[in-house]
Amino acid sequence: MAKKVRVGILNVTGYAGLELARLLYQHPHVELAAVTGRSEAGKPLGEVFPTLDDLGLTITAEVQGKVDFIFSALPHKASAEALLPFLRQGLRAVDISADFRLRDAAEYKQWYQVVHPAPELLKEAAYGLTELNKDAICGAQVIANPGCYPTSAILALAPALKEGLVEPDIIVDSKSGVSGAGRGLSLGAHFSEVNETVSAYGLEGHRHLPEITQELRRLAPGGKLRVTFVPHLIPMTRGILSTCYAPLVESRLGSGLASAQSELAAVYRDFYRDQPFVRVVSAPPQTKHTNGSNYCVIYPTVDPRSGRLVVISCLDNLVKGAAGQAIQNMNVMLGFEETAGLLGLGLWP
């Protein structure tokens, strides 16, 4: 029997860290060996999160003992700083924060208002959207796990941009559950503040905008890509639904609505043919279709009145938008089956 890889999680006490622990428990090739969380250091993991009691671990301030692989679920800046000693030891890692997503250190400082602690690593880190970047992920030491909003937007738009079906003027309208705001206390995430209401935010520029633009430009090189991104907070726990719009290039799809929609669906299905966690569906999906799973569900269609592409994508922001995608990246890095530990079905209702 092959020896299992010993894995550590930095900051298990956030929602992404908690979800990592839950998913890794069922991974056939991994032993979860260490979990950190300074605010709860010294406590049994099952005392802080009763659903994780079977793991039998104690939360520590720092990683104790030997590990072979590291996940970091720390906030930006703190994440890169905490990962550096492990990277210098030669360990490989997946960073769930934003610290390695942007390739330009000046742009990182502009959007996150801090100086990057290891700018030399930005060019070496691989952007961890496995469906588009698998070769780079295989050989990288550190993976920048994509943001939840960017994952939904990029997967929704990638086939159309790659095939030149749309003009480079894109609108991404996204709705997210409250868990996307993290586990820390904040007035804007209190039940009485978010229940029975929907709100837009980040209209002056959300931190995920440069990430979305950076990766979409790689699919449409040379184009003067314009992206408008507006996120919204929805009173639910999990899930992201993004509706993406772009003008279609004339004559790139068949004439007539039925023909154009059929060809569009065929382009999307062919693009994601070998990707186990993207489903192209024939009816608009709901966020509940992905709750608890690592799937991104996509529905592309054509608005015949405006001549626009409309693509709807749904995912669980804590799984495909965070922890599940991180494990998918680890699987690719370590040569495991890409689906290992991730084939659980979604939750309903």
SS3 for 253? coil
Domain that holds residue 67: 5-146+321-334
* CATH code for position 64: 3.40.50.720
Tell me if 217 sits within 8 A of 223, measured CB to CB.
yes
Q: In this structure, how many other beta carbons lie within 10 angstroms of the beta carbon of residue 85? A: 12
338-343 long-range Cβ contacts below 8 angstroms, 24+ apart: 338/130, 338/276, 339/276, 339/277, 340/27, 340/28, 340/29, 341/23, 341/24, 341/26, 341/27, 341/28, 341/29, 341/30, 342/23, 342/277, 342/294
Measured CA distances, 119 to 11, 84, 105, 341 (Å) = 22, 11, 6, 33
Sign of the alpha-carbon dihedral angle for 26, 32, 35, 40: positive
For position 237, what pLDDT does the model report?
A: 95
Closest CA to 128 of 104, 89, 97, 156: 97
Residues 124 and 167 in one domain: no
- Token pair of 210 as six digits: 């440069």
Residues 123 and 176 in one domain: no
Residues 281 and 328 in one domain: no
Measured CA distances, 126 to 39, 222, 286 (Å) = 31, 21, 30
Tell me if 8 sits within 8 A of 2, measured CB to CB.
no
Residues 163 and 290 in one domain: yes
For position 229, what pLDDT does the model report?
A: 98
Residues 47 and 100 in one domain: yes
Tell me the per-residue pLDDT of 150-196, one tens digit each, with 9 for 90 and over. Answer: 999 999 999 999 999 999 999 999 999 999 988 887 888 889 999 99
For position 189, what pLDDT does the model report?
A: 85
* CATH code for position 167: 3.30.360.10
Residues 308 and 162 in one domain: yes
Residues 241 and 329 in one domain: no
Residues 97 and 188 in one domain: no
pLDDT by 10-residue block (mean), the chain, 349 residues: 92 97 97 96 97 97 97 97 97 98 97 96 97 98 98 98 95 96 84 94 96 95 88 97 96 84 96 98 97 98 94 98 98 98 91
Counting the structural domains of the chain, the total is: 2
Cα dihedral 275, 278, 280, 283, rounded to 10, equals: 160
Q: Quick one: how far is CA 258 from the chain centroid?
A: 33
Residues 278 and 158 in one domain: yes
Residues 141 and 34 in one domain: yes
Please identify every residue annotated as catalytic.
148
Tell me the per-residue pLDDT of 323-338, one tens digit each, with 9 for 90 and over. Answer: 999 999 999 999 999 9
Q: Which amino acid, one-letter code, is at 125?
A: A
Instruction: Read off the DSSP letter of residue 180.
Output: G
For position 258, what pLDDT does the model report?
A: 87
Residues 70 and 100 in one domain: yes
Beta bridge partners of 69: 7, 92
